[in-house]
């Protein structure tokens, strides 16, 4: 990776890009932002923000379990998040309860369990801080490789199943009548979304990670006239927010994740004005 | 498309349902249903709410589990089935265009790369068939009920179907949209000889379009030619004697026009001679 860092030094001769932690942070946000925005297109169109919130808040328990059992909290956070995501889909498919109710139950369970563990072990509070607000400046080379793999998996999954997922979102029966394996795709999408959410917590923080999925996609939707334009507009807005937020946080000495979301929110407001002017 | 054959003067069966049972959540929705839909014919499925009409369509589509047998084309060939759902319950603000919608599920290339040229042409051709070619670039969420039905019909036709299943095609359509939709269905049936099974509450539509009618309420109550089934006696048995069924004979080649409303109010009846 040292060659990449040298290349960045020559391409980005700016004060903010000099420290090694900023170079790593820049690579991290450039990998996480498009994955979040691309998955966010489905989250926004099919009203899944609450699902994403449930996964991110399960991080309370994921981190607590990791520290409790002496495992790297990053792994338990991802593992527990995926488990919660798959459990929500499984119960929803077998129950007559509304999807909001099912998510609400798992959301409450995951947060409550985490709080119980943390309150019993006060020393855990310090470990949790990193995950509450995110800490992209301390991201490691290994984590960056993990983020790169996740972005490639996301791109491959959306290349294969994007159209089918969209049809399921519009009408499940129509998709089934078309021979699409709805059950498999629901599980696969929940698994991948859980991975994207939990991996992104390291960058954005569990409190705001859903915004990284929702805000760029919502802004992209305001600007778009077709599925294709929404997809690309969301990714561009996600990337612009991530880079401008990272640079701003360097100069304002603010939390990077929150600054990225503020930049995304500013772009969303502009898109909202654009949509209003266009008469949408 | 399978060319419809004939047997004893009547076309061959496109769908043969034998002793079909469907239970959902421990409740029997369909019990011992036997029906036949023939090539080149429009068959209407009527019955009160909760009678299992949509469930029968879903069983034919293989979407709900069932006991019994459903055979297509006498068990000789797998059919291509086009399906038009009653409604699309989706976020109407999403920026999917009609062309996006028609390409979904028909092309492997993801829509975020582009719409495939061949699929676009196929979609345009079917939109023209359903008089919806001007809607190509419109947002799906901005379509009226009638426009959406014609787009859904175009989507069903993209499958190159032997059979089309229509679930309450006129339920969200205004009067003029319904007229146009009926003309399209009749034209498709006459020109392409597609077998059509249509769930409908609208007995005007049923009498004007269907050659055969199946009256269903968990079991098949009556099945036969439209004029034989759509009469006060059968409909009262099917919907209940207190449901305000009004029938009038307009004398159009012996076809019956009727009005039915579960609340007992008169429904619009056929006004022109399109049924001839």
Domain-located, residue A39: yes
Domain-located, residue A113: yes
Query: A176 — contact with chain B (CB < 8 Å)?
Result: yes
Domain-located, residue A248: no
Domain count along chain A: 1
Per DSSP bridges, beta strands B42-46 and B13-24 are: unpaired
Per DSSP bridges, beta strands B219-225 and B212-217 are: antiparallel
Domain-located, residue A246: no
| Residue A31 belongs to domain spanning | 20-206
Question: Can you give the pLDDT of all 276 residues of chain B as single tens digits?
Answer: 444 555 556 678 899 999 999 998 889 999 999 999 998 899 999 998 889 999 999 999 999 999 999 999 877 778 889 999 988 888 888 999 999 999 998 899 999 999 999 999 999 999 999 999 999 999 999 998 889 999 999 999 998 898 999 998 877 677 777 888 888 888 888 888 889 999 988 888 888 899 999 999 999 998 989 988 888 777 777 777 655 555 554 433 334 444 444 443 434 333 333 333
Global ipTM: 0.87
Q: Cβ B104–A159 below 8 Å, yes or no?
A: no
Q: Tell me the whole-structure pTM to 2 decimals.
A: 0.86
CA B167 – CA B86 distance, rounded (Å): 5
- Which residues are CB-contacts of A12 (< 8 A; sequence separation ≥ 6)? A26
User: CATH number for the domain including A76?
Assistant: 1.10.3470.10
Query: B217 — contact with chain A (CB < 8 Å)?
Result: no
Tell me which residue in A47, A160, A229 faces B91 most closely, judged by beta carbons: A47
Domain-located, residue A1: no
CA B178 – CA B65 distance, rounded (Å): 32
Domain-located, residue A239: no
What three-state secondary structure class fits A65?
A: helix
Query: B116 — contact with chain A (CB < 8 Å)?
Result: no
Write down the residue that tokens 């769908």 correspond to.
Answer: B15
Domain-located, residue A55: yes
Query: B172 — contact with chain A (CB < 8 Å)?
Result: no
Write down the residue that tokens 């020559």 correspond to.
Answer: A10
Domain-located, residue A137: yes
Candidates A166, A163, A168, A195; CA nearest to A181 is A168
Q: Cβ B63–A176 below 8 Å, yes or no?
A: yes
Residue A142 in contact with residue A15, Cβ under 8 Å?
Answer: no
């Amino acid at each position: 990776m040292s060659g990449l860092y040298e290349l960045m030094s020559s391409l980005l001769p700016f004060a903010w890009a000099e420290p090694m932690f900023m170079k790593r942070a820049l690579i991290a946000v450039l990998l996480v932002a498009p994955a979040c925005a691309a998955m966010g297109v489905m989250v926004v169109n099919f009203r899944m923000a609450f699902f994403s919130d449930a996964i991110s808040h399960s991080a309370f328990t994921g981190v607590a379990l990791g520290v409790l059992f002496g495992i790297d909290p990053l792994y338990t956070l991802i593992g527990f998040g995926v488990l919660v995501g798959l459990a929500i889909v499984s119960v929803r498919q077998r129950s007559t309860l509304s999807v909001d109710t099912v998510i609400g139950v798992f959301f409450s369970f995951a947060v409550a369990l985490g709080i119980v563990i943390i309150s019993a072990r006060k020393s855990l509070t310090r470990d949790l801080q990193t995950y509450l607000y995110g800490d992209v400046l301390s991201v490691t080379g290994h984590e960056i490789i993990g983020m790169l793999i996740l972005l490639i998996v996301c791109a491959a999954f959306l290349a294969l199943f994007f159209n089918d997922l969209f049809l399921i979102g519009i009408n499940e029966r129509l998709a089934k009548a078309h021979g699409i394996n709805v059950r498999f795709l629901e599980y696969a999408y929940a698994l991948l979304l859980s991975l994207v959410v939990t991996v992104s917590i390291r960058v954005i923080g569990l409190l705001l990670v859903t915004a990284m999925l929702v805000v760029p996609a919502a802004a992209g939707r305001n600007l778009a006239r077709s599925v294709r334009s929404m997809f690309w507009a969301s990714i561009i807005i996600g990337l612009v927010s991530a880079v401008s937020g990272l640079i701003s946080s360097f100069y304002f000495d603010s939390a990077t994740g929150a600054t990225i979301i503020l930049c995304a929110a500013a772009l969303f407001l502009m898109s909202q004005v654009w949509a209003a002017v266009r008469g949408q | 498309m399978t060319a419809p054959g004939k047997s004893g003067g009547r076309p061959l069966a496109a769908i043969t349902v034998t002793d079909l049972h469907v239970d959902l959540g421990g409740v029997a929705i369909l019990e011992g249903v036997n029906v036949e839909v023939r090539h080149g014919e429009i068959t209407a499925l009527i019955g009160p709410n909760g009678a299992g009409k949509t469930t029968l369509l879903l069983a034919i589509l293989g979407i709900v589990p069932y006991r019994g047998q459903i055979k297509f084309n006498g068990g000789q060939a797998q059919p291509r089935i086009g399906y038009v759902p009653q409604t699309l319950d989706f976020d109407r603000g999403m920026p999917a265009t009609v062309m996006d919608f028609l390409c979904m599920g028909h092309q492997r290339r993801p829509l975020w790369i582009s719409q495939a040229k061949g699929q676009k042409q196929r979609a345009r051709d079917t939109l023209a068939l359903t008089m919806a070619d001007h809607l190509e670039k419109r947002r799906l969420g901005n379509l009226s009920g009638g426009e959406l039905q014609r787009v859904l019909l175009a989507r069903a036709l993209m499958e190159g179907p032997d059979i089309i299943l229509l679930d309450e095609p006129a339920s969200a359509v205004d009067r003029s949209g319904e007229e146009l939709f009926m003309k399209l269905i009749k034209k498709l049936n006459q020109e392409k000889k597609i077998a059509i099974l249509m769930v409908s509450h609208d007995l005007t539509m049923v009498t004007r379009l269907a050659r055969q009618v199946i009256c269903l309420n968990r079991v098949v109550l009556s099945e036969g030619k439209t004029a034989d089934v759509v009469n006060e006696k059968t409909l009262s048995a099917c919907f209940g004697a207190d449901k305000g069924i009004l029938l009038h004979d307009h004398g159009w080649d012996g076809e019956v026009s009727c009005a039915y409303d579960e609340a007992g109010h008169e429904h619009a009846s056929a006004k022109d001679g399109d049924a001839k």
